[in-house]
């Protein structure tokens, strides 16, 4: 499946560029895990599972 478009030579994304973290967010979504979930740990600084990335809705 093709999502978005590229330049005439197919070198760079022209429309709707996707990144590896978008793929990971989509995999988390399919596994029932919220990609923006921030786990509670004993550490004083918490971080979400993914700081970047959006679910690729065209693949759902």
Give the pLDDT confidence of 5-56 residue by residue, as tens digits. Answer: 998 998 998 888 999 999 999 999 999 999 999 888 777 778 888 989 999 9
What global pTM score does this model have?
0.77
Q: Which residues contact 55 (CB under 8 A, 6 or more apart)?
A: 22, 25, 26, 29, 35
Q: What is the pLDDT of residue 42?
A: 74
Residue 58 maps to a domain: yes
Using CA atoms, how far apart are residues 29 and 13, in angstroms rounded to an integer?
24
Q: What is the pLDDT of residue 52?
A: 92
Q: What is the pLDDT of residue 2?
A: 82
Q: What is the pLDDT of residue 46?
A: 80
Query: In degrees rounded to 5, what are phi and psi of residue 45?
Result: -110, 120
Total domain count for the chain? 1
Question: What Cα–Cα distance (Å) separates residue 39 from each residue in 15, 42, 59, 60?
Answer: 33, 10, 26, 25
Of residues 3 and 25, more confidently modeled: 25
Range of the domain at 45: 16-60
Using CA atoms, how far apart are residues 47 and 19, in angstroms rounded to an integer?
20
Residue 24 maps to a domain: yes
């Amino acid at each position: 499946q093709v999502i978005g478009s590229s330049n005439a030579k197919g070198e760079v994304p022209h429309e709707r560029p996707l990144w590896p973290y978008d793929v990971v967010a989509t995999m988390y979504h399919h596994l029932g895990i919220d990609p923006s979930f921030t786990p509670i740990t004993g550490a004083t600084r918490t971080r979400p599972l993914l700081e970047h990335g959006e679910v690729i809705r065209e693949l759902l």
